[in-house]
Amino acid sequence: MIKNILFDLGNVLISFKPAEYFEKNKYPENIKNTILSDIFESNEWLLLDNGEISTSDAIEAISRRSSLNKNEIAHIFNLRTDLMFPLDTNVRLLPELKKRGFRLYFLSNFPSDIFDEIRSGYYFFKYFDGGLISAVAKSSKPDVGIYKSIMEKYSLIANECLFIDDIEKNVKTAESLGMKGIATNGSLEISKEIEKALGNP
C-alpha cells in the first residue's frame, strides 16, 4: 500500500527548460547553443548538483574553456530563477494528496544555492513532510545513493513509496529498489497517472 509519494521537482512541479527560455527571449541560435552546451550540459553543472563545487568555482572553470566570458557566464547563472516557474496543475495535487493522508517528499537534483532561493520563494514546499536534494546527498539521480539516503533519512519502506520523475532512467532506479514509479516525461497533467499508480483507475 502506498503511503509516501516522492516528487522530483524539475519539470514535474517546477518548469526548467533553458532552451525554451533562450528561444523565447530571442537569443541568437549560435549563442543559445553555446550556453546550453558550455553551461547546462557541462561537467561543472553535474558537480554543482552533487555539491562538489561552488557556483563561483563553476563559473571560473567554464570561463577557461568557453567562448563566453566570465561576466556572460555569471549572468546566465543569475538567470536560473528566471528560467523556473511552478507547474500549477501538478502543484495543485499536493494539498489534495496531503488531505488524503499521504506523506509527501521531494527528491531532486539541485545545487544548494539556487535551491535555497526556490524553497523560500515557492509556497508549495509547505506541503512536504521532508525531502532531499543532490547537493546535500552528494549524489545525483539516477545514482542509487540518493534514493537510499532519503529512505534512510525518513525511515521509508520502498514498497510503500511512489516515485514521480520526468526522466525514465531515474524512475527505473526507484523501481529497482522496490518503489512504484511514474515517468511523466514533462507532462503538465499527472493526476491520472498518479491515481492509476495508487490503484484508482
> How many domains does one find in the chain?
2
pLDDT classification of 200: cutoffs 50, 70, 90: confident
Among 78, 102, 119, identify where a domain stops: 78
CA neighbours within 13 Å on the CB side: how many for 34? 15
Please indicate, yes or no, whether residues 98 and 150 belong to a single structural domain of this protein: yes
Mean predicted confidence (pLDDT) in 109-136: 95
pTM of the predicted protein model: 0.94
Q: Could you report the per-residue pLDDT of 157-186, keeping only the tens digit for each? A: 999 999 999 999 999 999 999 999 999 999
Please indicate, yes or no, whether residues 161 and 95 belong to a single structural domain of this protein: yes
For residue 115, what are the contacts with CB-CB under 8 A and spacing of at least 6? 108, 133, 135
Please indicate, yes or no, whether residues 167 and 93 belong to a single structural domain of this protein: yes
* Domain assignment of residue 61, given as a range: 18-78
Mean predicted confidence (pLDDT) in 41-59: 96
Q: In this predicted structure, what is the pLDDT of residue 65?
A: 95
Burial, 4: exposed, middle or buried (Cβ in 10 Å; 0-12, 13-18, 19+)?
buried
Q: In this predicted structure, what is the pLDDT of residue 159?
A: 96
Average pLDDT, the chain: 96
Please indicate, yes or no, whether residues 104 and 169 belong to a single structural domain of this protein: yes
Please indicate, yes or no, whether residues 188 and 124 belong to a single structural domain of this protein: yes
CA 145/CA 55 separation, integer angstroms: 23
Q: In this predicted structure, what is the pLDDT of residue 138?
A: 96
Please indicate, yes or no, whether residues 45 and 138 belong to a single structural domain of this protein: no
Please indicate, yes or no, whether residues 54 and 143 belong to a single structural domain of this protein: no
Q: In this predicted structure, what is the pLDDT of residue 201?
A: 65
Among 60, 78, 96, identify where a domain stops: 78
Q: What is the CATH number of the domain that holds 187?
A: 3.40.50.1000
Q: In this predicted structure, what is the pLDDT of residue 178?
A: 97
CA 105/CA 112 separation, integer angstroms: 17
Q: Could you tell me where the DSSP H helices lie in 80-131? A: 88-91, 93-99, 112-121
Q: In this predicted structure, what is the pLDDT of residue 59?
A: 97
Q: Could you report the per-residue pLDDT of 5-31, keeping only the tens digit for each? A: 999 999 999 999 999 999 999 999 999
